[in-house]
Structure 1
Amino acid sequence: MDCGAGALEFGEDIEAAVRREIREEYGTEPEEVVLAATTNVLRDNNGTPTHWVALIHAVRVNPELVKNGDPEKIDDLGWFAPDQLPEPMHSMLEKHFAFVRHLIESR
Structure 2
Amino acid sequence: MTAVEPKVSCVFVCHDGAGRVLLARRGAGARDEPGTWDCGAGALEFGESFETAVAREVQEEYGVRPLGIEQIGVRNVLRGDPVDSHWVAVVFAVRVAPDGVTIGEPHKFDALDWFAPDALPEPLHSQCGETLGLFTAGARGHGGR
The interval holding the TM-score normalised by the smaller chain is: over 0.9
Match of 1:82 in 2: 117
Amino acid aligned to 2:45: E
Match of 2:94 in 1: 59
RMSD of aligned Cα (Å):
1.3
Match of 2:25 in 1: none
Choose which of 130, 137, 142 in structure 2 pairs with 1:95: 130
Tell which has more relative contact order, 1 or 2 (C-alpha 8 A, sep 6+).
Answer: 2
In the TM superposition, what is the alpha-carbon distance from 1:102 to its structure 2 partner? 1.2
Gaps of 5+ in 1: none
Match of 2:66 in 1: 30
The structure where helix makes up a greater share of residues is 1
Aligned length: 106
Does the residue aligned with 1:77 lie in a helix, a strand or coil?
strand
Show structure 1 runs of 4+ deviating over 6 A: none
In the TM superposition, what is the alpha-carbon distance from 1:49 to its structure 2 partner? 3.0
Amino acid aligned to 2:69: V
The TM-score normalised by the length of structure 1 is: 0.92
The structure where strand makes up a greater share of residues is 2
Gaps of 5+ in 2: 1-36
Choose which of 77, 86, 93 in structure 2 pairs with 1:41: 77
Match of 1:6 in 2: 42
Choose which of 39, 55, 59 in structure 2 pairs with 1:19: 55
Amino acid aligned to 1:97: L
The TM-score normalised by the length of structure 2 is: 0.69
Q: Any idea what the Cα deviations from partners look like across 1:13-72, whole Å, max 9, x if unmatched?
A: 110000000000000000000000011111107x55322111110000010111111111
> Against the structure 1 CA distance between its residues 48 and 102, is the aligned structure 2 distance closer, same or farther, given a 3 Å change threshold?
closer
